[in-house]
Amino acid sequence: MKKKYILPILFVALTGTTAMAQDQTAKGFAFAAKQTDLMLKEVAEAKKTAKPDMASPRSLEKGELVLVPSKDWCSGFFPGELWFLYQYTEDPKWMTEAKAYTANIEQEKTNGGTHDMGFKVYSSVGNGYKLTKDPHYKEVLLEAAKTLATRFNPTVGCIKSWDNRKNWKFPVIIDNMLNLELLFEASKLSGDKTFYNIAVSHANTTMKNHFREDNSSFHVIDYDPETGKVLHKQTHQGYADGSAWARGQAWGLYGYTMCYRETKDKAYLQQAEKIAKFIFSNPNLPKDLVPYWDYNDPAIPNAPRDASAAAVTASALYELSTYSANGATYKSLADKIVKNLTDSYQAKPGEAKGYILLHSTGNKPANGEIDAPISYADYYYLEALLRQKGGVKYQ
């Protein structure tokens, strides 16, 4: 008998019904537009004294804007936000800005030294292609997918995440699940099943090795590239190897929901539902559903939150709600997350150099971007708002 992963009634009651949830889309995008106008001015000012290759804003450090080059894994998120603003408002000024910032990322299509091709190129060029069908963007996406595919090891069954790491031979991180969307798209655009097959192999191998019995995920699995054997299981950006790093759980939820969309393999839908069950049954999940940076940090409740994990989770839940028998529950949970992010985690108008959300955690073990605004939090928040409104076609 197949297991059904149904969330406890307690959590359905906690969130209320979908009908009672307030639609935050208009409110969220109105605020985002004003903040992004400010961000564009701040970026222009910062570039006057920055290195010439700086492409996108990533975060704040000591109140100052942090810009990053196109090779940074976060470079594609701000262009993606601009595309989201254009999609929602249909104001051509956002398209103009989106094209300009996207152009700065396109060179990454041949950067084979990273697995972050989806984060960089698909979040920027991919969103541009969805809205414009520009054949140039199609060419960039296909080149980027070809480059990403060179990192696939058929013996391991996965795409390698990081290079030049002394502690690992063939590290694969849970984040890598989101880069598979580029491969699925490339398969559809080209008719070449190679991209599809690589994505499926990676998803299957990750599902086999990354998850614990309680459905939480490790961050890093290190493989022997010669044999495919698992060498180490770690949680590099979490509290401990055995802990549940919050954003890692969100990446898994988002990734397997997307994989179900692209393949209709029910194993992926079940995996997404199991991850959702872990998150929303977790006793350390706060009542506002914005998680602490790691579910097992012993400092809870005095540990940093991670609004980015909440935003990724909300966006994933909206899509998952369209596939699952628990759809009403998932949408209700997403509505509550979005409402709480909108009401309690936004920057003050005209502050934070134009970022939208505060209180994210980037890499706490490395003391990086703790309780800070980060570009990917804003990106997935806006995507969640579009999905709340029904403004995203998943196929």
pLDDT by residue (tens digit) across 171-196?
999 999 999 999 999 999 999 999 99
Q: Return the pLDDT at 2.
A: 44
Amino acid at 391: G
Write out the catalytic residue numbers.
116, 175
Q: Which of 369, 268, 349 is nearest to 61 (CA)?
A: 369
Distance CA 51, CA 86 (A): 28
Distance CA 117, CA 143 (A): 10
Q: Which residue has the higher pLDDT, 126 or 14?
A: 126
The full set of domain ranges for the chain reads 31-389
**Structural domain 31-389, CATH architecture:** Alpha/alpha barrel (1.50)
* Structure token digits, residue 183: 């491969």
Binding site, annotated residues for substrate: 116, 175, 235, 247, 251
Q: Return the pLDDT at 279.
A: 98
Write out pLDDT tens, residues 314-344: 999 999 999 999 999 999 999 999 999 999 9
Is residue 216 pLDDT above 70, yes or no?
yes
Amino acid at 187: S
pTM of the model: 0.94
**Residue 165 · residue 171 · CB < 8 Å:** yes
Residue 128 exposure: Cα atoms within 13 Å on the Cβ side:
30
Q: Return the pLDDT at 7.
A: 55
Is residue 170 pLDDT above 60, yes or no?
yes
Is residue 9 pLDDT above 50, yes or no?
no
Distance CA 337, CA 357 (A): 13
Is residue 226 pLDDT above 80, yes or no?
yes
Band (20; pLDDT cuts 50, 70, 90):
very low
Write out pLDDT tens, residues 147-163: 999 999 999 999 999 99
Residue listed under structure tokens 């529950």:
329
Write out pLDDT tens, residues 23-80: 679 999 999 999 999 999 999 999 999 999 999 999 999 999 999 999 999 999 999 9
**Residue 58 · residue 374 · CB < 8 Å:** yes
Q: Which of 301, 149, 292, 277 is nearest to 213 (CA)?
A: 277
In the chain, which ranges are continuous DSSP H helix?
9-15, 25-46, 77-89, 92-103, 117, 127-132, 135-149, 180-190, 193-209, 246-263, 266-280, 307-320, 327-344, 375-389
- Residue 278 has a CB neighbour count (10 Å cut-off) of 22
Q: Return the pLDDT at 165.
A: 81
